[in-house]
A and B are shown apart, each in its own frame.
Chain A
Amino acid sequence: MPRIALILAVFLASCGKDDPATGDSTPTGLTTGSTSGGTTPTPCNITEVPPVVGDPLTVDLAGECPLSNRWGDFAVSVYDIYSIVAGDVANGVVPITVLEEVGRDGTCVLLRRNNPFCDPPCASDQTCDFDGTCVPYPENQDLGTVTIGGLEADVIMQPIQPGNNYFNTQMPHPAFTPGSLIELTTGCGVYDQVVLHGVGVEPVTLTSPDWVVRDGEDLPISWNAPTVPINPGQHVQVRLNIDQHGNTPVQMFCSFPDTGTASLPASLVDQLMAFGVTGFPNATLTRRTVDSATLSSGGCIDFSITSPVDPNVLVDGFIPCIPGGNTCPTGMTCDPYIGLCE
Chain B
Amino acid sequence: MRVAVLLLLTAGCAPEAPQTIPTGPQTGGGTPGGTPGGSATGSGTPGATTTGSGTTSVPFTWDCTTPLPAAPVPFTNQTGYSEAEDFDFHPDGWAGLVYQTNLVGKDRYGGTTVISPDVSSNAASTRVLSTGDWVISDVSGGRVIRVDHVTGAKETLLGGLSWPNGIEVGSNDDLYMTDFSTGRVFTFNAWNPDPVTQIDIGQPQANGIALSPDEQTLYVVLSWTAAVIAYDRQPGGGWSAARVVLLIPGADFQGLVSDYCGNLYVTDAYPGQHSYIIRIRADETNDGIIATLPSGYVPNAHFGHDIGGWNRFMLYASDREQGRLFELDVGVPGKQHPALP
**Contacts from A to B (Cβ < 8 Å):** 75, 77, 79, 81-82, 84-88, 94, 96-97, 113, 115-118, 120-128, 134, 137, 160-163, 165, 167, 169-170, 172-173, 245, 247, 279-280, 282, 284, 308, 310, 318-320, 322-324, 334, 336-340
Contact = CB atoms under 8 A, between A and B. Distances in A.
A65 to B, nearest CB: 15
A161 B153 contact: yes
A26 B205 CA distance: 50
A228 to B, nearest CB: 21
B160 A126 contact: yes
Contacts of B142: 94, 96-97, 115-116, 127-128
Given A84-B102, A94-B142, A247-B181, A336 B159 contact: no
B224 A117 contact: no
B297 A170 contact: no
B151 interface: yes
Contacts of B100: 79, 284, 308, 310
B263 interface: no
Nearest to A128: B160
B331 interface: no
B159 A124 contact: yes
B116 interface: yes
B68 interface: no
19 contacts: A79-B100, A81-B25, A86-B117, A117-B162, A117-B182, A118-B160, A123-B196, A128-B159, A128-B161, A128-B162, A162-B148, A163-B153, A170-B19, A173-B23, A245-B180, A279-B269, A280-B83, A280-B321, A324-B250
A137 B159 CA distance: 7
A324 B248 CA distance: 11
Given A160-B152, A245-B223, A339 B159 contact: no
Given A81-B112, A167-B152, A280-B297, A323 B250 contact: yes
Report, nearest first, the 4 A-B pairs whose CB atoms are least far apart. A323-B250, A122-B160, A124-B193, A127-B159
A97 B141 contact: yes
Interface residues of B, number: 63
A263 B83 CA distance: 25
B172 interface: no
A173 B24 contact: yes
Nearest to A84: B117
Given A87-B118, A163-B155, A339-B271, A116 B141 contact: no
Interface of B: 19-25, 27-28, 83, 85, 100, 102, 112, 114, 116-118, 140-143, 148, 151-163, 180-182, 184, 186, 188, 193-194, 196, 198, 205, 223-224, 249-252, 269-273, 296-297, 299, 320-321
A75 B22 CA distance: 19
Contacts of A165: 152-154
Contacts of A320: 270-273, 296
Given A121-B196, A127-B143, A160-B151, A81 B24 contact: yes
Contact of B160 (A86, A137, A323): A137
Contact of B194 (A84, A86, A123, A162): A123
Contacts of A79: 100, 102
A167 B118 contact: yes
Contacts of B20: 170
Contacts of A84: 102, 114, 117-118
Contact of B186 (A113, A121, A167, A172): A121
Contact of A97 (B23, B140, B194): B140
Contacts of A323: 249-250
A94 B22 contact: no
A124 B158 contact: yes
A334 B19 CA distance: 49
Nearest to A74: B118
A82 B155 contact: no
A102 B102 CA distance: 29
Contacts of A319: 272
A240 B321 CA distance: 16
Contact of A81 (B21, B140, B193, B273): B21
Contact of B270 (A169, A310, A339): A339
Contacts of A167: 116-118, 152
Contacts of B205: 245
A315 B188 CA distance: 38
A244 B27 CA distance: 29
A322 B270 contact: yes
Nearest to B157: A124
A162 B148 CA distance: 9
B123 to A, nearest CB: 12
